[in-house]
């Protein structure tokens, strides 16, 4: 797996298939209502592509599906059942809030989210499922209907790279700006208007702006869709490794903070309380949240997904 160049900048080549690798995902899927053909095996039984099982013939069964070999062997009529393959559209929602453009180690949270989302998108295409990438930042917003072609995904990823550079340049030139509503809220509000039963929704965010409004939208979303939240964290957000005086400076402003052991313990306590609270909120929705650090590699993502495969 190629290592990130500087953890800051992003190019289209970083989002191509295999640029950020991880093993097969093993998460249980919901059962979509779409009649489009895809690689997802649904529980809708009919004359599909893949044999499922045989059972005793029941009134109304198609006589063309009688299994004559089993019938002759048992002396009772048996019929074949098939499992149809149905498509499961994948939506990848990227929160590009200013807080996502942060890292002290590894790469920016939003950059890691983009690399993971891109590989999930390529995997969905390989499974013949349609995929859509939505993102919202302080300066950019983009959404497109799910597509099932390589060229469409490449175009979408190219637009994301442009938006990423625009957000990054804006932060460097103008600094952090307040956004109302927050990009995360904007994504969830818009998606709730267009969502359909059976959609798989990957939500990438640091959930720093996850309030009651966002929570209500998530509750509405999981009634029909399979929500898979991924939280991006930087090690500094979990604990401070420094002790003594810490100097903060922006332009001509300077701030000196005396960071003691007791202050550090309180910092860790508050982080764990926030993390547990967020975890409990998604647990109430019968969903697990996947934790990623800016220092993690794709294999860590695969492990965390597999370990919560009971979704």
CATH value of 12-33+88-236+286-307 in 2.60.40, 3.40.50, 3.30.70, 2.40.50: 3.40.50
20-24 mean pLDDT:
59
pLDDT band at 25 (very low <50, low <70, confident <90, very high): very low
Highest mean pLDDT among 15-19, 194-198, 202-206, 242-246: 202-206
Predicted local distance difference test score (pLDDT) of residue 35: 43
> How far is CA 170 from each of CA 164, 173, 176, 219, rounded to the nearest angstrom?
10, 5, 8, 33
The mean per-residue pLDDT over the stretch 55-74 comes to 87
pLDDT for 144? 85
Confidence band, pLDDT 50/70/90 cuts, at residue 217: very high
Average pLDDT over the chain reads: 81
When pLDDT is cut at 50, 70 and 90, the band that residue 69 belongs to is very high
Examine the pLDDT at 153 and tell me if it is beyond 70: yes
Q: HSE, CB side, 13 Å, CA atoms: give it for residue 64.
A: 3
Domain residue spans of the chain = 12-33+88-236+286-307, 40-86
pLDDT for position 187: 93
| Burial of 71 from C-beta contacts in 10 A (0-12 / 13-18 / 19+) | middle
In the structure, what pLDDT confidence band is assigned to residue 151 with cuts at 50, 70 and 90?
A: very high
Rounded mean pLDDT, 77-95: 79
What is the tens place of the pLDDT at every residue in 118-145? 999 999 888 888 999 999 999 999 998 8
Q: pLDDT tens, 34-64? A: 444 444 444 433 333 456 678 888 877 888 8
The pLDDT-based confidence of 22 (bands split at 50, 70, 90) is low
């Amino acid at each position: 797996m190629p290592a990130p160049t500087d953890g800051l900048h992003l190019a289209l080549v970083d989002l191509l298939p295999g640029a950020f690798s991880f093993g097969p995902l093993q998460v249980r899927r919901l059962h979509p209502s779409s009649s489009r053909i895809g690689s997802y095996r649904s529980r809708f039984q009919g004359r599909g592509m893949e044999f499922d099982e045989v059972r005793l013939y029941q009134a109304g069964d198609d006589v063309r599906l009688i299994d004559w070999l089993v019938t002759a062997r048992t002396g009772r009529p048996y019929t074949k059942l098939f499992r149809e393959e149905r498509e499961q559209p994948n939506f990848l929602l990227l929160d590009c809030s200013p807080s996502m453009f942060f890292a002290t180690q590894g790469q920016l949270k939003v950059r890691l989210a983009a690399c993971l989302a891109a590989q999930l998108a390529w995997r969905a295409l390989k499974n013949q499922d349609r995929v859509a990438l939505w993102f919202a930042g302080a300066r950019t917003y983009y959404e497109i209907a799910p597509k099932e072609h390589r060229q469409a995904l490449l175009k979408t990823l190219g637009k994301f790279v442009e938006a990423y550079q625009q957000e990054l340049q804006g932060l460097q030139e103008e600094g952090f700006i307040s956004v109302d509503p927050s990009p995360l809220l904007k994504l969830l509000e818009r998606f709730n208007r267009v969502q359909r039963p059976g959609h798989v929704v990957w939500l990438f965010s640091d959930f720093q702006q996850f309030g009651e409004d966002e929570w209500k939208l998530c509750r509405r979303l999981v009634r029909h869709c399979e929500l898979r939240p991924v939280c991006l964290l930087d090690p500094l957000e979990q604990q401070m490794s420094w002790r003594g005086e810490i100097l903060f400076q922006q332009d001509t402003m300077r701030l000196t903070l005396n960071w003691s052991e007791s202050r550090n313990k309180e910092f860790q306590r508050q982080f764990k309380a926030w993390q547990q609270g967020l975890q409990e909120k998604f647990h109430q929705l019968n969903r697990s949240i996947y934790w990623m650090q800016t220092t993690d590699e794709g294999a860590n993502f695969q492990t965390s997904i597999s370990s919560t495969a009971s979704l």
